[in-house]
Homo-oligomer: A and B are copies of this chain.
Amino acid sequence: MKEVTVGIDIGGTNTKFGVVDRAGNVLFHDSIKTQQHEEFSDLINDLVKAIRDAIAGLDGSYNLVGIGVGAANGNYYKGTIEHATNLKWKGIIPLAEMLSKPLGVPVLVTNDANAAAVGEMVYGAARNMKDFIVITLGTGLGSGIVSNGKLVNGKHGIAGELGHTTVNYAGRYCNCGKRGCLETYVSATGIKRSVYKLLADHLEPSELRGISFDDLNTKMITEAAIRGDIIAREAFEYSGRILGTKLAETVAHTDPEAIFLFGGLSLAGDLIFKPTIKHMEVNLMPLFRGKVKILPSGLQNQAAPILGASSLVWNHLEEKNQISI
């Protein structure tokens, strides 16, 4: 019997799940709407049924060894989702327990960026690295830090919140309640806010002047920048300068081999990588200069959240084996 895991990514809109083998092959994947369910337990019931059906429907004989879940505000130590801002269910949700009971396997929970970091280590571009960082650029900015080959979870299971380090103490308002957080500048929402700031400050014509804040997205800004739109190009320059400058501070903490950029904004390639690298280098303490790579994630595809979540299980099993040798 071949061992498989299930990776689940609970997002505000969709809950994606997939059956994954040790080599990172996604044998089956599907998606259900997250918030169409009245109670969170209804979502769990649907998920449990879908997972059972998926494994039963596979060609051959498979043994489910564990489930990994990535979710905003996922707590690794407690197996809970705590006060998620992107879900309608509030408070503390005992997710691991709710999934583990009917399926009879261990369930590991972490936040989506930490799952991405473990995914990068197990299946991605960090397979031979022990010290690296993954920055996920989605609606917000998430981060997962790996040191000594292990995910840094921290004392309370909430390490890696670089999105809420401060760029400007009198800066943009953030969902977290603070001002000037990195993610208010560097994320899908952040670059949109920057475009609007630049449109306000400058006189240059821009194709983005015809698009409302609600309609504007990263893809439009990227395409405009590729076509040479000055405001769009400057918005990437501005984002990269702020990201690179802050990453220099992060390097001084954990001295990583590489920092991987994952998701939305990172797909713009040189537009975001060039200014990020330039401004990180300039702001690094000289001892670190020329030593730290900024690279695209090795998991830039649809299945990445599922792979990231499932990798939690493989990583956990391997750590257990290591200790019991």
Contact = CB atoms under 8 A, between A and B. Distances in A.
A253 B162 contact: yes
A210 interface: no
Contacts of A161: 252-253, 255, 285, 287-288
A248 B182 CA distance: 13
A152 to B, nearest CB: 5
A159 B322 CA distance: 25
Interface string A143-184: 001011010111111111110111001000000111001000
Contacts of A150: 147-148, 150
A110 to B, nearest CB: 13
Contacts of A145: 253-254
Given A249-B165, A249-B166, A255 B154 contact: yes
Interface in A257-304: 257, 283, 285-288, 291-292
Interface string A196-215: 00000000000000000000
Q: Which of A156, A169, A257 has the largest number of chain B CB atoms within 10 A?
A: A156
Given A148-B153, A156-B255, A166 B283 contact: yes
Nearest to A73: B287
Nearest to A158: B255
Contacts of A287: 158, 161, 176
A131 interface: yes
Interface string A305-325: 000000000000000001101
Contacts of A176: 285-287
Interface size class of A (residues with CB under 8 A): 35 or more
Contact of A254 (B152, B164, B181, B257): B152
Contact of A253 (B130, B254, B292): B254
Contacts of A139: none
Contact of A249 (B152, B153, B160, B249): B249
Contacts of A147: 147-148, 150, 152, 154, 159
A68 interface: no
Interface in A78-127: none
B178 A155 contact: no
Contact of A154 (B154, B158, B166, B256): B256
Q: Which of A131, A159, A162, A250 has the largest number of chain B CB atoms within 10 A?
A: A159
A15 to B, nearest CB: 23
Nearest to A147: B152
Contacts of A166: 248-249, 283
Nearest to A282: B178
A86 to B, nearest CB: 14
Contact of A131 (B148, B155, B257): B155
20 contacts: A131-B155, A145-B253, A147-B147, A147-B150, A147-B159, A148-B148, A148-B150, A152-B152, A152-B254, A154-B255, A155-B291, A159-B254, A161-B252, A161-B285, A162-B253, A176-B285, A176-B286, A178-B283, A178-B286, A323-B325
Question: Which 4 A-B residue pairs are closest in the complex by CB-CB distance?
Answer: A154-B255, A159-B255, A155-B257, A164-B285
